[in-house]
Structure formats: structure tokens, C-alpha cells
Amino acid sequence: MPVNHCPALQTKNYRLQPLARQHAVDIFELRSSPEVSRYLDRPLMKRPEEATEFVAYIEEGTPQGDYLYWVIERKEDKQVAGTICLWRFDQQRSRADLGYELKPAFQGQGIMGEALQRVVRYARDTLSLYRLYACTNEANEASLRLLKRANFTFERKLFEDPNMQVFVLHFQGLPAYLQRIGLEPFSKPGLVELHRAHLFSIPFENLDIHLGRAVSIQQEDIFRKLVQQRRGGFCYEHNGLFRWALQQLGYTAHLVQGQVYSTERKEYGPPFDHVAVWVETPDGPFLADVGFGNAPLVPMPVRDGAEEEGTSGRYRLEFLPKGQYRISHREGREWVPDYIFDGQPRRVEECEPMALYHQTSQESPFTQKRLISLPKPEGGRVTISGNELIIKGDNGPSKVELEGEDSFREALSAHFGVVLE
């Protein structure tokens, strides 16, 4: 749907104001600067009147939905640091190009990263774009870092100028999910590759519960949160999303319910205490679980005695009577149960009562304190439990107390790429 005006947007530190005539001085400063234009194939402005004409050109195209052009203004002193824009929309209004530039005095301060994050949210949530493109010179290292931090991936080089590289950020469908977990948007990953990529990219977390937000386990809501908003979730969200992705890739997959073992009570929880994914393959069925926190790194073959390495050592699958199976992990010489499950296909609606229980009950482990955790491909894990940041590596865990909400949110962004809106 065309947007016939450019709305004002805000971030924590900046106002994104629609380009207007009073900004002609700033446009001239940007577009007459050799440093700003170093990687751009455009002539430098020579006269202030050129900037005035450019602003008028943008103002004329905005009502037609051709341009959305903002100046980035610091809240503290109203200084204009640079500009950011969306333009070159396609006829279906499904894609657009991104442009941005900063005055030299404001470069290297994280300003564009904050502004870009807000514009991406606007393009995704308000404009409902399917994808966003950005073009940058391969020598512009700052721009390359900016796009990669924002989850853009390299797509191609420009034919007419091989020094210019095109990056893309997908918002919808399987390409967006694959990009979210660090894979090529139009690739066809195998089961193991997909499982590992998801496990190392999307954190296990319960933050919405402690923000007083209801957690939906419907597919469109899970996709919006875990993929588009780059958040994490708990088992119903993780494995619901993973099951959907497998089906999009042509796998036969369904949800199965699990009952988690309590080492304190020495008993299993109720049905649907946990969900995982049963995957049919030519080599037999596999259990995939990307939503248990500490779990096998790869899908487990549904075979009695099968073992695989995981995020906390070795894991084993065993057959039990009455069509049940057990997943356990090894601690020293002992095998400690994690959960039991069966192979019966389950619907999302069957999971909703226990999903609600885990959000609201004082008996649920998820209501006790906020938690976010992510294993690292090189080994170890980074976790925030309550207000404590825990980083586990080869030399054991290091712990840092996060003092105040600002420190907590900074750690979320630095270690997990999570920004709470």
C-alpha cells in the first residue's frame, strides 16, 4: 500500500524527521563533502541552490509514495547527523531500496545502526515489505559492518560496477527464516545443517512472560517474533517454527508432546510439558529439538540406544514400553533423564493449555525469573539468568552482575542481538 507521507519516527537517542526545506543546509553539507561521497558515484554539489532543488524534488515525490526520506536529528541538541531513506519501490510495493549517509563528525558512533533498526521496523511492520535492498561499495568497511549487523546478506555484485555489492534483508517466508539463522535465503539446507543453524542463532528465552506480555504459539505470531523481530522463545515457539520450516523445505514433520523430568521431584511432568519435532526421512524417523535449552546438537535418530553430542555433553535416546521414548544426558557415569515423548502427531491447539500454564503458574520454572540463553558454535554458552550474565567457555563460567535495566538491555543487544521494543 503506498504511503503518501513520510512520518516522523523516533529511537532512544534520535528523531527521524521528514526531509524539509529547512534541512537544505544539511543536505548541502552532506552532498558537497568528498569524504561522504568517497564510495558513491555521484557528482559533488557545488552550490547551495542544488540542495534546495534536491529537497524540493524529494518533497514532490513523497506524496506519490516514491520516497520516504528522513534526516537523523539528535534529541539532545537537535543537530542533524545524517539522512536515511527508502526509495525505488517496486510496482507491487513489496520491496524498496535503502540509502543512508552521515556527516563525517558523526561517523563511528553507532548513530546509523540505531536509525537503521527503526527504519527496518517501519518497512517491515507498517509498509509490510517482503524485502529490503542496500547497495554499498566493497571498500566501504563501515557500511558492510552496518548491513551485516542488521542481518542483511550479500546477494550479488552490480554488473555495471563490480565494486558495488547488493545486500538484501528478507521479511517474509522461508527466505526470511533462513536468513535469520545465518543461511542463504534461497538455499536448501539438509536436516543437520538446519538444526545446528537454528540452535546457534535463536536464543531460548522467557522475557515476554516477565514483561507481562502474552506469548502466542500460533504460527504467524511465532514467525513475527522469532524471525522478524529477531527474538527468542520457549519450546512451543522454537519447535513450532522449526516444524514449519521443515515442511516448507519438503520434509514430513509433526509436533510430538514431551514430559520433562524433574531431578528435584524425581518424576515426569504432565503431557505437553514440552514439544519437539518428529521428522520422517529415507533413513528413518528422527527427533529434532531446537527448543529445550540444553539439547543434542543434531536430530536424534529414533533408534534404541542412539547417542549424539549436545550442548551439555552426550545424549541418548531409549525405547520405553507403550510406544514411548526417553531422551537423557550423561553426567559422569550416570544417564539423567531429560524428558519422555511419543511419536503421535499433535496439533498446536493441544499445546495451548500447557503453554498458558508455563506463562502464568507460580509452579512453572519460566515464571520464577527471566532467562535468555544461547549455545555458541565454538563451544560454551552465554546466558542471562535474572540479572546475572553467565558466559561459559573452556575455562569455566564467568559471571557478571547486571546493575539496572540499561545494563540488562545492553547485554541483550551485545550478546543475543535482542532489542526489546
Q: What is the pLDDT of residues 372-421, one digit of tens each?
A: 999 999 888 999 999 999 998 877 789 999 999 999 999 999 999 998 87
Instruction: Confirm whether 22 is domain-assigned.
Output: yes
Q: What are phi and psi of 119, to 5 degrees?
A: -70, -35
| pLDDT for 202 | 97
pLDDT band for position 2 (50/70/90)?
A: low
**CA-CA distance, 388 to 383, in Å (whole number)?**
8
**CA-CA distance, 291 to 76, in Å (whole number)?**
42
Q: For residue 73, what is the domain's CATH number? A: 3.40.630.30
CB-based contacts of 255, cutoff 8 Å, min separation 6: 239, 240, 243, 275, 276, 277, 278, 345, 346, 347, 348, 351
**CA-CA distance, 305 to 326, in Å (whole number)?**
10
Q: What angle do CA 94, 189, 175 make, to 5 degrees?
A: 10
Do 247 and 116 belong together in one domain? Answer: no
Residue 200 pLDDT greater than 90, yes or no: yes
Could you give the percent of the chain with pLDDT greater than 90?
Answer: 89
Q: Which three cell numbers stand for residue 113?
A: 545502526
**CA-CA distance, 283 to 49, in Å (whole number)?**
70
| pLDDT for 5 | 84
* Mean local confidence (pLDDT), 11-37: 96
**CA-CA distance, 1 to 129, in Å (whole number)?**
9
* Mean local confidence (pLDDT), 272-297: 95
Helices 235-248 and 191-199, axial angle in degrees (round to 10): 150
Instruction: Confirm whether 264 is domain-assigned.
Output: yes
**CA-CA distance, 385 to 82, in Å (whole number)?**
38
- Tell which residue, 293, 327, 325, 299, has the closest CA to residue 312: 293
Which residues constitute the domain of residue 75?
9-171
Would you say the pTM of this structure is higher than 0.85? Answer: yes
**CA-CA distance, 154 to 144, in Å (whole number)?**
10
Q: What are phi and psi of 392, to 5 degrees?
A: -100, 130
pLDDT band for position 65 (50/70/90)?
A: confident
Do 283 and 237 belong together in one domain? Answer: yes
List of E strands, 111-219: 131-137, 153-157, 164-170, 204-205
Provide the 3-class DSSP secondary structure of residue 59.
helix
Q: Which three cell numbers stand for residue 63?
A: 506524496
Q: What is the pLDDT of residues 33-44, one digit of tens each?
A: 999 999 988 999
Instruction: Confirm whether 200 is domain-assigned.
Output: yes
Instruction: Confirm whether 179 is domain-assigned.
Output: no
Q: What is the pLDDT of residues 99-108, one digit of tens each?
A: 999 999 999 9
| pLDDT for 1 | 47
Do 238 and 282 belong together in one domain? Answer: yes
Instruction: Confirm whether 369 is domain-assigned.
Output: yes
Do 265 and 302 belong together in one domain? Answer: yes
Instruction: Confirm whether 2 is domain-assigned.
Output: no
Query: How large is the C-alpha radius of gyration of the chain?
Result: 25
Q: What is the pLDDT of residues 137-176, one digit of tens each?
A: 999 999 999 999 999 999 999 888 889 999 999 999 999 9
Beta-sheet pairing, 388-393 with 381-385? antiparallel
* Mean local confidence (pLDDT), 208-225: 96
Q: Which three cell numbers stand for residue 76?
A: 539532545
Instruction: Confirm whether 409 is domain-assigned.
Output: yes
Q: For the beta carbon of residue 399, count every other beta carbon within 10 angstroms.
A: 11
Give the residue, 159 or 122, on which the prediction is more confident.
Answer: 122
Instruction: Confirm whether 389 is domain-assigned.
Output: yes
* Mean local confidence (pLDDT), 317-334: 94
**CA-CA distance, 273 to 39, in Å (whole number)?**
55
Q: What is the mean pLDDT of the chain?
A: 94
Tell me what percent of the chain is helix, strand and coil, each rounded to the nearest 5.
Answer: 30, 30, 40
Q: What is the pLDDT of residues 364-386, one digit of tens each?
A: 999 999 999 999 998 889 999 99
Number of domains in the chain: 3
**CA-CA distance, 260 to 338, in Å (whole number)?**
6
Q: Of the candidates 111, 140, 171, which is a domain's last residue?
A: 171
Residue 296 DSSP symbol? B
Q: For the beta carbon of residue 4, count every other beta carbon within 10 angstroms.
A: 9
Do 20 and 64 belong together in one domain? Answer: yes
**CA-CA distance, 317 to 289, in Å (whole number)?**
13
Q: Of the candidates 348, 376, 399, which is a domain's last residue?
A: 348
**CA-CA distance, 416 to 36, in Å (whole number)?**
32
